[in-house]
């Protein structure tokens, strides 16, 4: 156990810090969940790409820096220290990018990865359907083979980023006779293809971030299929593993929130309850614990280990931590918690953050599903229900 | 930067785990409970494994290891619900004396002839020491009230708190395992009770709590071993995280055992009671929160994403 940084790691931190201090927008961007905010976040992605900071963990050949996981953690710490914006490109960086690297053909890698790294094409997820949320194997949208195309008909919903994104990815039923996990295929599609209707969904906060996608005989070339027909479930599980696993939520984000919460307490603590004071300290402790655990898992992976069902522990921990921290902030703000903007004109980011934090325990596999996974795969308790 | 134990450390911990699993099972705890709590043969076994000398400098015949190794072994002592005062003597007493330059006479600790039971002002009583007996909820814990002034030395307190946290880690693992094993075999409504989500989700929450407490404890051990300026805060963080995981897991484990959990017959109670005892020993929640409060809200500790390890 060596919990000190090498001189090379320290130098790297200094390099990231200098670039972030010079480039991170001084004022927070408008929320990603509206046209104006989306555009400014995409512009930020391109700025990051111009400094080659867009996809730091990707191999250099695909437009990344080939950083190891400890360097990635350092990068993320400095990103959030500087108050870096949320990533419009998140689906590409952490979900589709690694999936294409693992399952894609050389042609697919060359075609999709570099524009993703440059922030030129922003990707939406299209997993859920009205009848397939936590139970993703209930997917019904069909992709019927017709020569060198698939013809897609069906509906996806709650698709992250789909209100404004360029391309989407998801799994579709290519074998009409199949049930559950079989007969599904992972397909990439241009959201502006003829036959796709996108209907942005107004979210809890009133803005539009995710969307419904209606497919009416949409023709998608067969070469947009990843890893072969019928392999969709295992590819999707690998993708979901990336999402729940190490990289979806880096610790820096929560350590930054915990620090802001401490500052909020210094401002409002004189009228707070003792329980709120303890909650603030707990936030610091839990954010630190999450960071230590991430370093431990990163060290394990760098030494050749793997992350499996442990990813479910992570997902529960960060999503509940985020909700707890924002709930505490709302308590500290008292009557002002309901205001969308404070008297001085500043956006109430705690309110926005609280609302957003309520999605954490739901998306990327609800925390109930995660607790089942922990109970069954880590603790070895008996399974129930449909498989 | 490498947040892993070395292979040597893991091998050492595994050998202690295997040894205690083979020689110190629940039937031993039951025997001790009726036959006087301590057994020279168990102590002798620990001495022969070199554990009393783990932190004694090599010049005094010990193994000269560090607090990270000791914390790992303390966790194994918790897992086995070890009754003998190995942790207090060898992982709290010895490093404190060595840190004060009082290493003379530690050969006797290595040989198993000397036990160290130190009073501290934060604990109203001392475990396995001389004095008027006091009864603990933990039937295998020998407490005594001691006359005279006790030290309030912070180094001693940090060692005691760290090693309590490490034992709690092992206690939680053991309680969780017992609850899971029981949930697999106890059948009601035609299925193992562990197939009900109502139990699964509670047990999964214990898993989350302990898995995120462990790295806090190891990080504290590393900080205290290195003499980091912020070590005291990390020790308090470790004690809190381990205590909270232990209280949650104890309450969940008894619930999973149902009415059997409320009997003296089920093994669980030994572990649960040890956890309750250690939860308040070497600084209770209020004490350790106050130390974190001073550092974090008081501003002495640098916080934020760039300060994970500073």
CB within 8 Å: A3 and B309? yes
In the predicted structure, residue A387 carries a pLDDT above the cut 50: no
A243 is catalytic: yes
Do the beta carbons of residue A351 and residue A339 sit within 8 Å? yes
Cβ pairs bridging A and B (under 8 Å): 171
Residues B167 and B269 in one domain: yes
> What CATH number belongs to A7-117?
1.10.540.10
Do the beta carbons of residue B2 and residue A71 sit within 8 Å? no
Strand partners, A211: A159, A200
Instruction: Measure in Å the smallest separation between the Cα of B299 and chain A Cα atoms.
Output: 10
Instruction: Identify the domain boundary among B115, B140, B172.
Output: B115
In the predicted structure, residue A306 carries a pLDDT above the cut 90: no
Predicted-complex ipTM score: 0.97
Pick from B56, B160, B166: nearest CA to B111: B56
Residues B187 and B279 in one domain: yes
Classify residue B2: in a domain, yes or no: no
- Residues B245-277 have pLDDT tens digits of 999 999 999 999 999 999 999 999 999 999 999
CB within 8 Å: A375 and B5? no
A281, A296, A372 member nearest B292 (Cβ) = A281
User: Total domain count for chain B?
Assistant: 3
CA distance A255 to A385: 38
CA distance B214 to B246: 12
Kindly list the residues from chain A whose CB atom is less than 8 angstroms away from the CB atom of residue B200.
Answer: 371-372, 375-376, 381
Instruction: Identify the domain boundary among B57, B87, B115.
Output: B115
Classify residue B279: in a domain, yes or no: yes
CB within 8 Å: A313 and B3? no
Please name the residues between 216 and 255 in chain B that touch chain A, using a CB distance below 8 Å.
Answer: 216, 218-219, 222-223, 237, 240-241
- Residues A121-141 have pLDDT tens digits of 999 999 999 999 888 899 999
CB within 8 Å: B4 and A1? yes
Please name the residues between 160 and 189 in chain B that touch chain A, using a CB distance below 8 Å.
Answer: 176, 180, 183-184
Do the beta carbons of residue A160 and residue A209 sit within 8 Å? yes
Mean pLDDT, residues B100-111 taken together: 94
CB within 8 Å: B241 and A13? no
Q: What pLDDT shows up at residue A30?
A: 87
3-state DSSP helix/strand/coil % of chain A, to nearest 5: 50, 15, 35
Instruction: Measure in Å the smallest separation between the Cα of B47 and chain A Cα atoms.
Output: 26
Instruction: Measure in Å the smallest separation between the Cα of B132 and chain A Cα atoms.
Output: 37
Sign of CA dihedral A18, A325, A355, A129: positive
Sign of CA dihedral A191, A161, A81, A319: negative
CB within 8 Å: A3 and B1? yes
Please identify which of the residues A45, A77, A78, A243 carries the catalytic annotation: A243
Residues B203 and B302 in one domain: yes
Q: What pLDDT shows up at residue A145?
A: 96
CA distance A146 to A150: 6
Q: Nearest chain B Cα to A285, which residue? A: B237
pLDDT tier, A372 (very low <50, low <70, confident <90, very high otherwise): very high
pLDDT tier, A369 (very low <50, low <70, confident <90, very high otherwise): very high
What is the phi/psi pair of residue A200, to 5°? -55, 140
Classify residue B1: in a domain, yes or no: no
In the predicted structure, residue A239 carries a pLDDT above the cut 80: no
CB within 8 Å: B180 and A380? yes
Q: Nearest chain B Cα to A9, which residue? A: B1
In the predicted structure, residue B65 carries a pLDDT above the cut 90: yes
Range with the largest mean pLDDT of A128-142, A258-272, A298-312: A258-272
Helix axes A310-333, A274-302, angle to 10 degrees: 150
CB within 8 Å: B192 and A284? no
Helix axes B40-48, B7-23, angle to 10 degrees: 160
- Residues B28-49 have pLDDT tens digits of 999 999 999 999 999 999 999 9
Is residue A8 classed exposed, middle or buried when 0-12, 13-18 and 19+ CB atoms within 10 A define those classes?
A: exposed
Map out the domains of chain A as residue ranges.
7-117, 123-230, 245-378
Classify residue B98: in a domain, yes or no: yes
Classify residue B298: in a domain, yes or no: yes
CB within 8 Å: A77 and B293? no
Classify residue B102: in a domain, yes or no: yes
Pick from B100, B97, B55: nearest CA to B73: B55
CB within 8 Å: A78 and B306? yes
Q: What pLDDT shows up at residue A161?
A: 87
Identify the residue with better confidence: B147 or A99. A99
Classify residue B108: in a domain, yes or no: yes
| CB proximity B292 to A under 8 Å | yes
Kindly list the residues from chain A whose CB atom is less than 8 angstroms away from the CB atom of residue B305.
Answer: 76-78, 80-81, 251-253, 255-256, 259
- Residues A55-108 have pLDDT tens digits of 999 999 998 999 999 999 999 999 999 999 999 988 888 889 999 999 999 999
The percent of residues in chain B predicted with pLDDT above 90, rounded, is: 97
In the predicted structure, residue A245 carries a pLDDT above the cut 80: no
Residues B175 and B265 in one domain: yes
Classify residue B222: in a domain, yes or no: yes
Residues B303 and B181 in one domain: yes
Strands A123-125 and A167-173, by their bridges, are parallel
What rounded mean pLDDT belongs to chain A? 93
pLDDT tier, A240 (very low <50, low <70, confident <90, very high otherwise): low
Output the domain CATH number for residue B97. 1.10.540.10
Mean pLDDT, residues A33-52 taken together: 94
Instruction: Measure in Å the smallest separation between the Cα of A143 and chain B Cα atoms.
Output: 35
Q: Nearest chain A Cα to B299, which residue? A: A262
Which of B196, B293, B306, B309 would best serve as a mutation to test chain A binding (most A beta carbons within 10 A)?
B306
Instruction: Measure in Å the smallest separation between the Cα of B217 and chain A Cα atoms.
Output: 10
| CB proximity B111 to A under 8 Å | no
Residues B195 and B302 in one domain: yes
Which of A289, A318, A320 would best serve as a mutation to test chain B binding (most B beta carbons within 10 A)?
A289
Instruction: Return the DSSP state at A377.
Output: I
What is the phi/psi pair of residue A157, to 5°? -145, 165
- Residues B158-216 have pLDDT tens digits of 999 999 999 999 999 999 999 999 999 999 999 999 999 999 999 999 999 999 999 99
Pick from B160, B273, B126: nearest CA to B134: B126
Instruction: Measure in Å the smallest separation between the Cα of A195 and chain B Cα atoms.
Output: 42
Instruction: Identify the domain boundary among B152, B173, B197.
Output: B152
Instruction: Return the DSSP state at A132.
Output: B
Alpha-carbon distances of A188 from A82, A101, A112, A220, rounded to whole Å: 34, 14, 10, 8
Do the beta carbons of residue B235 and residue B158 sit within 8 Å? yes
CA A197 to chain centre: 24
Kindly list the residues from chain A whose CB atom is less than 8 angstroms away from the CB atom of residue B13.
Answer: none
The full DSSP string for A226-251 is ES-TT-HHHHHHHHHHHHHTTSSS-H
CB within 8 Å: B219 and A3? yes
Mean pLDDT is lowest, of A91-105, A142-156, A237-251, for A237-251
Question: b or e along A330-367 (b: 16 or more beta carbons within 10 Å of the residue's beta carbon)?
Answer: bbbbeeeeeeeeeeeeeebbbbbbbebbebbbebbbeb
CA distance B81 to B262: 19
Class of domain A245-378: mainly alpha
Q: What pLDDT shows up at residue A244?
A: 57
Contacts of A124 (CB under 8 A, 6+ apart): A91, A159, A160, A161, A162, A165, A167, A168, A169, A191, A211
CB within 8 Å: A4 and B219? no
In the predicted structure, residue A386 carries a pLDDT above the cut 50: no
Domain A123-230 has CATH 3.10.580.10: no
Q: Which structural domain, as residue segments, surrounds residue B31?
A: 7-115
């Amino acid at each position: 156990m060596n919990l000190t940084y090498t001189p090379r790691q320290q130098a790297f931190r200094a390099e990231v810090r200098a670039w972030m201090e010079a480039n991170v927008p001084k004022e927070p961007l408008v929320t990603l969940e509206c046209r104006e905010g989306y555009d400014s976040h995409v512009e930020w992605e391109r700025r990051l790409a111009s400094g080659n900071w867009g996809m730091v963990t990707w191999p250099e050949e695909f437009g990344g820096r080939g950083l190891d996981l400890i360097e990635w953690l350092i990068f993320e710490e400095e990103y959030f220290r500087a108050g870096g914006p949320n990533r419009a490109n998140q689906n590409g960086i952490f979900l589709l990018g690694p999936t294409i690297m693992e399952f894609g053909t050389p042609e697919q890698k060359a075609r999709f990865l570099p524009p993703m790294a440059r922030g030129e094409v922003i990707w939406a997820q299209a997993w859920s359907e009205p009848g397939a949320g936590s139970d993703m194997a209930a997917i019904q949208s069909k992709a019927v083979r017709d020569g060198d195309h698939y013809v897609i008909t069906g509906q996806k919903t709650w698709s992250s980023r789909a209100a404004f994104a360029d391309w989407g990815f998801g799994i579709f039923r290519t074998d009409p006779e199949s049930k559950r996990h079989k007969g599904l295929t992972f397909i990439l599609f241009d959201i502006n293809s003829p036959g796709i209707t996108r209907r942005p969904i107004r979210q809890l906060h009133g803005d539009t971030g995710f969307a419904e996608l209606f497919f009416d005989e949409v023709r998608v070339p067969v070469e947009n299929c990843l890893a072969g027909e019928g392999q969709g479930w295992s590819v999707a599980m690998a993708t979901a593993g990336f999402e729940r696993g190490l990289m979806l939520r880096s610790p820096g984000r929560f350590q930054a929130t915990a620090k802001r919460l401490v500052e909020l307490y210094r401002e409002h603590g004189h009228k707070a309850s003792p329980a709120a004071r303890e909650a603030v300290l707990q936030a610091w402790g839990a954010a630190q614990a999450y960071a230590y655990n991430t370093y431990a898992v990163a060290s394990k992976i760098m030494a050749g280990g793997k992350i499996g069902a442990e990813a479910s522990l992570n997902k529960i921990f960060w999503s509940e931590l985020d909700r707890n921290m924002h709930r505490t902030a709302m308590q500290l703000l008292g009557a002002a918690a309901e205001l969308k903007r404070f008297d001085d004109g500043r956006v109430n980011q705690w309110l926005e953050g609280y609302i957003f934090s309520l999605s954490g325990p739901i998306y990327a596999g609800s925390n109930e599903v995660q607790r089942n996974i922990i109970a069954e795969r880590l603790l070895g308790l008996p399974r129930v229900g449909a498989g | 930067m490498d947040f892993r134990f070395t292979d040597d450390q893991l091998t050492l911990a595994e050998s202690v785990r295997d040894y205690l699993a083979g020689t110190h099972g629940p039937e031993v705890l039951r025997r001790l409970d009726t036959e006087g709590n301590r057994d020279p043969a168990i102590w002798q076994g620990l001495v022969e494994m070199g554990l009393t000398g783990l932190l004694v400098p090599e010049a005094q015949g010990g193994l000269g290891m560090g607090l990270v190794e000791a914390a790992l072994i303390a966790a194994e002592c918790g897992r086995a619900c070890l009754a003998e005062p190995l942790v207090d003597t060898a992982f709290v007493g010895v490093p404190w004396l060595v840190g004060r330059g009082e290493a003379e006479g530690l050969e006797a600790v290595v040989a198993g002839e000397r036990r160290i039971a130190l009073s501290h002002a934060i604990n109203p009583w001392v475990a396995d020491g001389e004095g008027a007996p006091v009864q603990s909820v933990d039937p295998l814990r020998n407490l005594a009230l001691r006359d005279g002034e006790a030290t309030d030395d912070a180094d001693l307190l940090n060692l005691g708190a760290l090693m309590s946290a490490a034992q709690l880690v092992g206690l939680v693992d053991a309680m969780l395992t017992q609850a899971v094993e029981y949930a697999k075999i106890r059948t009601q409504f035609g299925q193992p009770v562990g197939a009900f989500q109502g139990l699964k989700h509670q047990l999964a929450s214990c898993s989350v709590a302990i898995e995120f407490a462990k790295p806090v404890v190891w990080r504290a051990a590393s900080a205290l071993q290195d003499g980091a300026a912020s070590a005291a805060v990390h020790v308090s963080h470790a004690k809190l995280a381990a205590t909270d995981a232990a209280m949650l897991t104890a309450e969940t484990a008894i619930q999973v055992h149902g009415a059997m959990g409320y009997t003296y017959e089920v093994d669980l109670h030994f572990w649960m009671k040890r956890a309750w005892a250690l939860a308040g020993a070497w600084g209770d929640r209020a004490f350790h929160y106050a130390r974190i409060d001073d550092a974090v809200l008081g501003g002495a500790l640098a916080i934020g994403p760039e300060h994970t390890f500073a």
